[in-house]
């Protein structure tokens, strides 16, 4: 158990925001996890249950009964991933589906950052939270394969971080989805928000209570493959699960995506991981243009071949 007494200059803050920014800043604990712990009465204020929106007062005593501290990650030679490019500033890699980028408070073993530390020990002090995600500028979902950038020094990390924030990096994905399209190209512009239990994203509506963020996804149908379609998807914003929830919202969920599946569609039980692949990234870095492509994984290629 941990107890924290709120100082005067921190009064007026929401407790969930305070805990995320002040207590767990350098840990891979999400605000959603904090909110769930508050609702489960594992975080109390002055010995009482409170809401995540509770505004802290000076001398409030916060009692934290869970939220385990993340142990420091260690190099792991057994984590396998493909290096597409490496120079003095940058690592470009192809992450396999099923590999988590970094551990959370659940303590998942064999993550990408552990493999990176083994092969590139120089990144151990790079980033906002190097003890848990050294060099990591952006992420892919565990079951999404494809291209990722990793910074080898702090200067590169900060430059890439700004470029992702300002949407200055071209990001292209390939996805296999259920169904066919009447138009070859389309644009999905639907704002996203967290569900009230913070476990998934939802299309925001007028009564949405969580923070609403704009989201814009472009897609192009490359070809029909049996009852499915192969799409080229370009992100104009970078929201969590954006491609997955956007495509599901128009009736074309990604094959293998269990979180955003539609009950009305018969599932393909032969596919264990979602068929979403980060295929291409293009950007400028310190005056030099970069463009990289990640090869499709075997299960993706097998599906394309089988369904012809």
Catalytic positions are: 141
Q: Determine whether 4 is exposed, middle or buried from the number of CB atoms within 10 Å of its CB (0-12, 13-18, 19+).
A: middle
């Amino acid at each position: 158990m941990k107890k924290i007494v709120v100082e005067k200059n921190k009064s007026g803050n929401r407790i969930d925001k305070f805990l995320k920014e002040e207590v767990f800043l350098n840990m891979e604990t999400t605000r959603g996890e904090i909110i769930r712990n508050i609702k489960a009465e594992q975080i109390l204020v002055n010995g009482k249950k409170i809401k995540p929106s509770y505004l802290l007062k000076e001398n409030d005593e916060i009692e934290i009964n869970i939220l385990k501290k993340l142990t420091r990650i260690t190099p792991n030679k057994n984590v396998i991933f493909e290096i597409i490019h490496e120079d003095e500033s940058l690592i470009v890699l192809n992450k396999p589906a099923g590999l988590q980028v970094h551990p959370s408070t659940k303590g998942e073993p064999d993550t990408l950052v552990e493999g990176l530390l083994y092969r590139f020990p120089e990144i151990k002090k790079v980033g906002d939270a190097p003890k848990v995600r050294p060099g990591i500028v952006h992420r892919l979902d565990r079951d999404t394969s494809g291209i990722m950038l990793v910074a080898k020094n702090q200067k590169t990390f900060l430059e890439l971080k700004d470029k992702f924030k300002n949407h200055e990096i071209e990001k292209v994905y390939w996805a296999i989805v259920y169904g066919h399209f009447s138009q070859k190209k389309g644009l999905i512009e639907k704002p996203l928000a967290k569900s009230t239990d913070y476990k998934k994203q939802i299309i925001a509506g007028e009564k949405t209570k969580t923070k609403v963020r704009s989201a814009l996804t472009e897609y192009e149908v490359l070809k029909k493959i049996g009852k499915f379609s192969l799409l080229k998807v370009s992100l104009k914003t970078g929201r969590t699960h954006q491609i997955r929830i956007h495509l599901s919202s128009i009736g074309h969920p990604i094959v293998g995506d269990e979180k955003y599946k539609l009950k009305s569609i018969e599932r393909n039980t032969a596919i264990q991981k979602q068929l979403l692949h980060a295929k291409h990234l293009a950007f400028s870095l310190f005056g030099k243009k970069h463009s990289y492509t990640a090869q499709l994984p075997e299960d993706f290629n097998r599906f394309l071949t089988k369904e012809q």
